[in-house]
Structure 1
Amino acid sequence: MPDTASPIPAAKPGPKPGSALAPFRYPAFRAIWTANLASNIGSMIQSVGAAWLMTELTTSHLLVALVQASATIPILLLGMFAGAIADNFDRRRVMLAAQTGMLIVSAALAALSYSGNIGPWSLLALTLLVGMGTALNGPAWQASVRMQVGKADLPHAVSLNAVSMNLARSVGPAVGGVLISLWDTSLAFAINAVSYLGMIVVLAMWKPDATPPRKEPMLAAIGRGIRFCASSSPIRKVLLRGLVLGTGAAALQALLPSVAKDRLLGTEIDYGLMLGGFGLGSILAALRVSHLRRRFGSEPVVVGATVLMIVGLVGLALATTPVSAIPAAFIGGMGWVSAMTSLNVAMQLRSPEDILGRCLSMYQAVTFGSMAVGAWIWGLLADMAGLGLALNMAAAWLAATLILHFVAPMPTREEGRLDIVPESKS
């Protein structure tokens, strides 16, 4: 694609430009955000169902943690190819293909679960296929945000997309827990399959005025993206922070189902409420994180977010009841979204339009790939030495990463910036 962004539909009267809710003035963003919220809620309901089903199929903490890892491993393995696809083809069509594929896999998961023909490994295989759809969808989705809103509102649009994910994380788990208790996990999987329909319809109707992409050979396109990221000092810093933070942060979600059921002897509803606390903390942080970055810069926000995740992990290790674990999950959620949103915005503002998908896929591959590795490490450690030790070791890892504040701080406000959003500060 050319270096200039695609024309943006005129914004309608609404929230003040530059405010946290300003992206909702754009009809395309508003429609896609709403459909994405429904899809995210379905995904969270399925996530709860898959994690809880695994606790019923096996007593292995490692296999339970691998449910989370199976959703992110494809991002590590396929991320750069997905980024090149997002830059070489119509991003809207790429998202349509990914959403349709995930619908089909979720429907198969519902059918197998309902019929009782599913085991630990088939469950992992199907969640892995959903993860492949997520890997394909992610770079195209992230890169398409520039086609939905004006330049000044890009950081707020990224934050609002995080709000969507974490609003779903607040509502979806509790709903999923209730549905599983009333029926079984097959209902959770079926609802997720249906939830993709809204996004598919909205994407089919969306006709952005975008310049056709300039196609390159796949390997050459991937190589150009890698070379740019490797040559950019600001982007290298962002990727390094994503790598180390993702490894430690993975324990917050990967071990939560085991904490709820095995350590705290809770029910699926208790697990849903703990995830809901995580999501609520994420929403509150997402609504404020852009303001905090403008006031203090990205580095203090990422450091503060790391401290919050440490507190959340230690709190989960010390919790004795599901009720006492909810505040720890809440704090962990605040830290999680503050860190991940700040990293995402830093990449968006420092990546050229024509290779944006590849840059974002590199970020996702590094960050979510490290989460997959982290989930495996902490799950294995929990099996070998106990959940409490695994949670505390993950907290210790994050504490050790604070040394990067001195040796590899986040890019400063103007460092490496491509002046995509001149009215705000990263």
Structure 2
Amino acid sequence: MFGSLRHRNYRYYASGQVVSLTGTWMQRAAQDWLVLELSGGSPAALGVAVALQFLPTLLLTLWAGVFADRFDKRRMLVVTQSALGICGFVLGMLDVTGVVALWQVYVLCLVLGSFAAVDAPVRQSFVVEMVGPAQLTNAVALNSMTFNLARIVGPALAGLLITAIGTGWVFLANGLSSVAVVTGLLLMDPALLHRVKPPPKERGQLRAGLRYVRGRPDLIVIMVLVFCVGTFGMNFENSFAVIARNLFGRDADGYGLLITSLAIGTLTGAALAARRSGRGRPQLRLVLVGAAAFGALEAAASLMPTYEVFAAALIPVGVAVMTFTTSANSTVQLAVEPTMRGRVMGLYMLLFFGGKPLGGLASGWLAEVFGPRSPILLGGLASLLAALAGAAVLAGRRRRGVARS
């Protein structure tokens, strides 16, 4: 279950991620709460903050994938992770000194999103360099476990700290936590990395990556699914803040508990994925089943009548979404040529996060017009329909292939 931890470089990376991701989730919860406080509880303002944070993904992520195929990924990550920590320090100082304004939060969302857009495809494609192809699925699952362990601890801790000392100190703590992951990257032994020879510098490398994906129907189905689930289904954080505050009348700790409930499910799903990693390569069928189950469970959870029942219903939602995300990530990385991995993962991350501006604005508008439950309900239905459509497309291609043969 923990086979990838036998690699020294991955142990350094995973150790730093435990600390850094906890700080990241603390900041996400505190940032959402700060926006609501500065805007008088406006879901639309929260949607704008989410949109600004993910807007740079549309402009930068594909090019970051090209750079990931050509340059040293470890050095690139040192730069991006350091910059993300500095963003936390700046927002924390503005908040602690009492001069923070909503427009400043918006600007920092945009800056942080720019560095995160570059960081994401580089970080995703760096995993296989640390552990090799044989342990990639296990490492992706363990990364998800780390991510979701932080997702449990971070928001819960943030809720307590916001109530006790305010949001500013939470941002400062996140800035400090970035030191852990940067230190882990600097301690790695580059000689132990499983690097491949980078492609030669030439024009049209980005277009070559897109043509490569266009010629692979299996990758196209996964990419479309990732876009639909990432854009419409995984609008948790901003929706949960509105549901906790405006629907159930809870404070910051109540919002943190909703994220924690979801994270309990995602941590369980990641653990199950790590156990499955020893049984061979992930299958496309599991990607489709995971997406369909997530959509159905999310839509059902949105209809729960009380805060306690809603929180409990988020646990199976978390299991399903983690089944989908880990299987989709591993399937894509193992199915592509090593020299194309950075560019393909750049497109993957673009579709996964690039729709967040649309999803953030849509969820804010839906919550304003149709009530706090509507983004969760409609997002679940959209994910379910996308999974059913993907299964139908692949089944149709399979039948045509049988008929031709």
TM-score by length of 2: 0.90
Match of 1:67 among 36, 49, 52: 49
Decide which moves more: 168-177 or 241-250.
241-250
Counterpart of 1:298 in structure 2: which amino acid?
A: L
One-letter code of the match for 1:318? M
CA contact (8 A) 2:298 2:376 kept: no
Given that 1:45 and 1:176 are in contact with CA atoms closer than 8 Å, whether structure 2 keeps it comes out as yes
Partner of 1:26: 7
- Structure 2 residue runs of 5 or longer lacking an equivalent are 399-405
Which secondary structure state, in structure 1, belongs to the residue aligned with residue 10 of structure 2?
Answer: helix
Please tell me the residue identity of whatever aligns with 1:345. S
Kindly state the Cα deviation for residue 83 of structure 1 after the two structures are TM-superposed: 0.7
Partner SS for 1:194: helix
Deviation at 1:350, TM superposition (A): 1.5
Q: 1:176, 1:272 within 8 Å by CA — same for their partners in 2?
A: yes
Distance 1:70 1:394 in 2: 20
The answer to whether the aligner puts 1:234 opposite 2:215 as a matched pair is no
Structure 2 CA distance, aligned partners of 1:259 and 1:403? Answer: 30
| Alignment match, 1:196 | 178
* Amino acid paired to 2:146: S
For 1:184-223, list aligned pairs within 5 A.
Answer: 184-209=166-191, 210=195, 213-214=198-199, 216-217=201-202, 220-223=204-207
| Matching of residue 100 in structure 1 with residue 85 in structure 2 | no
1:320 and 2:301 equivalent? no
- The letter for the 2-side match of 1:229 is V
Identical pairs, percent: 25
Query: Residue 317 and residue 63 in structure 1: after superposition, are their counterparts in 2 closer, same or farther (change >3 A)?
Result: farther
Point out the structure with the larger helix share: 2
Deviation at 1:198, TM superposition (A): 1.0
After TM superposition, list the pairs within 5 Å mapping 1:411-422 onto structure 2: none
Structure 1 residues 292, 90: closer, same or farther in 2, change over 3 A?
A: closer
CA distance in 1, matches of 2:190, 2:330: 22
Say yes or no: does 1:397 pair with 2:382.
Answer: yes
Q: What CA distance in whole angstroms lies between the structure 1 residues aligned with 2:106 and 2:24?
A: 15
> 1:89 touches 1:215 (CA, 8 Å); kept in 2?
no
The alpha-carbon distance between structure 1 residues 204 and 292, as it changes in their structure 2 partners (threshold 3 A), is closer
What does 1:381-396 align with in structure 2 at a 5 Å threshold? 381-396=366-381
Contact kept, 8 Å, 1:92 with 1:203, in 2: the verdict is yes
1:256 maps onto 2:240 in alignment: yes
Q: How far apart in 2 are the matches of 1:163 and 1:332?
A: 16
Contact 1:316-1:329 at 8 Å conserved across structures:
no
Q: 2:232–2:383: 8 Å Cα contact kept in structure 1?
A: yes
**CA deviation digits over 1:363-414, x for unaligned, max 9?**
00012112332222122111122112333222222232223221247999xx
In 2, Cα distance between equivalents of 1:380 and 1:408:
34
Whether contact under 8 Å (2:295, 2:382) holds in the other structure is: no
Q: What's the CA shift for 1:164?
A: 1.0
Matching of residue 113 in structure 1 with residue 95 in structure 2: yes
Aligned residue runs from structure 1 range 336-347, under 5 A: 336-347=321-332
Q: Residue 62 of structure 1 aligns to a residue in which SS?
A: helix
Asked if 1 retains the 8 angstrom alpha-carbon contact of 2:125 and 2:341, the reply is yes
2:250 is matched with 266
Relative to structure 1, is the Cα distance of residues 46 and 200 closer, same or farther in structure 2, using a 3 angstrom cutoff? same
Q: Match for residue 77 of structure 1?
A: 59
C-alpha displacement of 1:47: 0.2
Amino acid paired to 1:130: L
Q: What is the deviation of 1:194?
A: 0.4
C-alpha separation in 2, matches of 1:312 and 1:241: 16
Distance in structure 1 (CA, Å) of the matches to 2:107 and 2:315:
30
Identify the residue that residue 50 of structure 1 maps to in structure 2. 31
Q: Normalized against structure 1, the TM-score is what?
A: 0.86
Is it true that 1:369 corresponds to 2:354 in the alignment?
yes
1:169 to 129, 135, 151: 151
Aligned match for 1:283, one of 263, 267, 276: 267
Whether the aligned pair in 2 keeps the contact of 1:68 and 1:253 (CA below 8 Å) is no
| Partner secondary structure for residue 387 of structure 1 | coil
Distance in 1 separating the partners of 2:346 and 2:105:
26
How far did residue 48 of structure 1 move? 0.4
Deviation at 1:215, TM superposition (A): 5.0
Q: Distance in 1 between matches of 2:243 and 2:19?
A: 28
Matches within 5 A, 1:147-158: 147-158=129-140
Task: Tell me the matched-pair count.
Answer: 391
User: 2:291·2:383 contact (CA, 8 Å) conserved in 1?
Assistant: no
Amino acid aligned to 1:361? G
Aligned CA distance change for structure 1 residues 411 and 31 (closer, same or farther; 3 Å): farther
Tell me how far apart the structure 1 counterparts of residues 140 and 303 of structure 2 sit (CA, whole Å).
Answer: 32
Tell me if structure 1 keeps the 8 A contact 2:196–2:339: no
Matched, 1:306 2:292: yes
AA at the equivalent of 1:30: R
Tell me which stretches of 4 or more aligned residues in structure 1 moved more than 6 Å.
409-412
Residue 118 of structure 1 aligns to a residue whose secondary structure is coil
Give the root-mean-square deviation of aligned CA atoms. 2.3
